[in-house]
Structure 1
Amino acid sequence: MTTSNVAETAEADAEAGRRTTREDWLDLAKDILVSEGVGSIKVLALAQRLGVSRSSFYWFFKSRRDLLDQLLHYWEHKNTASIVERAKRPSHSIVEAVFNLFECWVDEALFDPGLDFAVREWARRSPTVRELVDRADNERVAAITGMFANHGYEEPEAFVRARVIYFMQIGYYALGVREPLDVRLSYSEAYVRSFTGKDPTTTEMNRFRNLAKKLAASANGKKT
């Protein structure tokens, strides 16, 4: 290859790099992880789907391993951080605290269930990812345990209630339960009573239902 050809190739690669962003690659890799699994995340396949050269990938990532590590970082930051933040949010009652946590289950901007399930599938084949998932589960349960403890629940009750609420929701995703929003909301009062032993007030119920419906309307609007 001549010097001019090398220069032309470098210029083409630079242009391809400018046509994409780091987020473009991460978003596509995340979509493939969720729909096809980690084994289908290949640099060449990503480049072809984005319509750029393979070499442009290296403008943003050192290697495929670097991309996968950043995907895991994104998953931890998005899903675990949201649960921990909601569990630690100041609240006047345990019912309000649980509804704060429920926001993660109705707003995929806070918690992405498809991504969480995909990472758990990945963990079946990778001891390193398994350790990350175990750590995330422990961190999430610890935050919810603290939420109950802050409202007067003693050990081991706070820990057991935290496990019940968290394991139930993860199981809901794992089983692929599909329910219309109105049906899910019709159960929310009974769920809260089961999780906390307390009855939600009408104000607390209406606040959460209105929020859930607003989020659902917004999500549906983005799909159309």
Structure 2
Amino acid sequence: MANKDLPARAWVIAGMKVLADSGINAVKVERLALVLGVSKAPFYWRFKDRNALLDAMIEYWKADLTTALIEKVRHLPTPRQRVEAIVELSLDHESDGISVAAVEAAIRAWAGQDPAIGKVAAEVDALRVDYLVRELSAMGAAQQHALIFAKSIYLGLIGLYSVRHYTPALDCEEAYRDLVGSALDRADRLR
């Protein structure tokens, strides 16, 4: 592939990998060019500047690691099946060769440094929790219970992502699945 043929998505994925491995301050055009084995020039054929790349990276996170997962489970017939399936998709360790857990941790670290990213991260968190609330409500849980169960499921996932990166001895998908199953069972009983 010629340098000029390198798609924008390749730069975004390279940026996400660097973000996951080294944090937002390491996401530099020079470094990404080195990772991709090209000169810096093709970057500017795809992006106006580094900020445009960072915007594209956030859009990738929202689209590929949130909206796309919801779309993948939409066809399942019951809310419980959809929640169980989205949990399994969320437990995937990689997407496009990027550590999902490391990206989630890096996005949150970035959000702590940049209020604009903090706002976007809060919006994505709300979107994810709202999705779970809708599914748990469809199972029959009252709104206040559905919200508590949804937050439990989501916070458990964020915690699992965090320990994967920093304390792998605590990484236990089975414990997380148990938590999700308990929340779903409670939602079922509240019908």
Task: Name the counterpart of 2:4.
Answer: 17
Identity of aligned residues (%): 26
Task: Name the counterpart of 1:51.
Answer: 37
Cα displacement (A) at 1:139: 0.8
Distance 1:194 1:186, change over 3 A: closer
How many residues are aligned here? 182
Task: Name the counterpart of 2:59.
Answer: 73
Q: SS of the counterpart of 1:156? A: helix
Matched AA of 1:91: P
Cα displacement (A) at 1:186: 7.5
CA contact (8 A) 1:38 1:122 kept: yes
Alpha-carbon distance in structure 1 between the residues aligned to 2:95 and 2:42: 29
Cα displacement (A) at 1:88: 5.1
Alpha-carbon distance in structure 2 between the residues aligned to 1:178 and 1:48: 30
Alpha-carbon distance in structure 1 between the residues aligned to 2:180 and 2:28: 44
Task: Name the counterpart of 1:151.
Answer: 139
2:168 is aligned with 1:178 = yes
Alpha-carbon distance in structure 1 between the residues aligned to 2:62 and 2:72: 15
Cα displacement (A) at 1:65: 0.7
Cα displacement (A) at 1:187: 6.8
* TM-score between the two structures when normalised by the length of structure 2: 0.80
Distance 1:97 1:22, change over 3 A: closer
Task: Name the counterpart of 2:151.
Answer: 163
Alpha-carbon distance in structure 2 between the residues aligned to 1:193 and 1:103: 12
Unaligned stretches of 5+ residues in structure 2 = none
CA contact (8 A) 1:148 1:158 kept: yes
2:179 is aligned with 1:194 = no
CA contact (8 A) 2:12 2:57 kept: yes
2:140 is aligned with 1:140 = no
Unaligned stretches of 5+ residues in structure 1 = 1-14, 201-224
2:118 pairs with one of 130, 140, 143: 130
Name the structure, 1 or 2, with higher relative contact order (CA <8 Å, separation 6+): 2
Task: Name the counterpart of 1:214.
Answer: none
1:145-169 per-position Cα deviation (integer Å, ceiling 9, x unaligned)? 0001111111201111111111111
Q: SS of the counterpart of 2:113? A: coil
Distance 1:85 1:113, change over 3 A: farther
CA contact (8 A) 1:43 1:54 kept: yes
* TM-score between the two structures when normalised by the length of structure 1: 0.69
1:60-89 per-position Cα deviation (integer Å, ceiling 9, x unaligned)? 111111111101100010122145446755
**CA-atom RMSD, angstroms?**
3.0
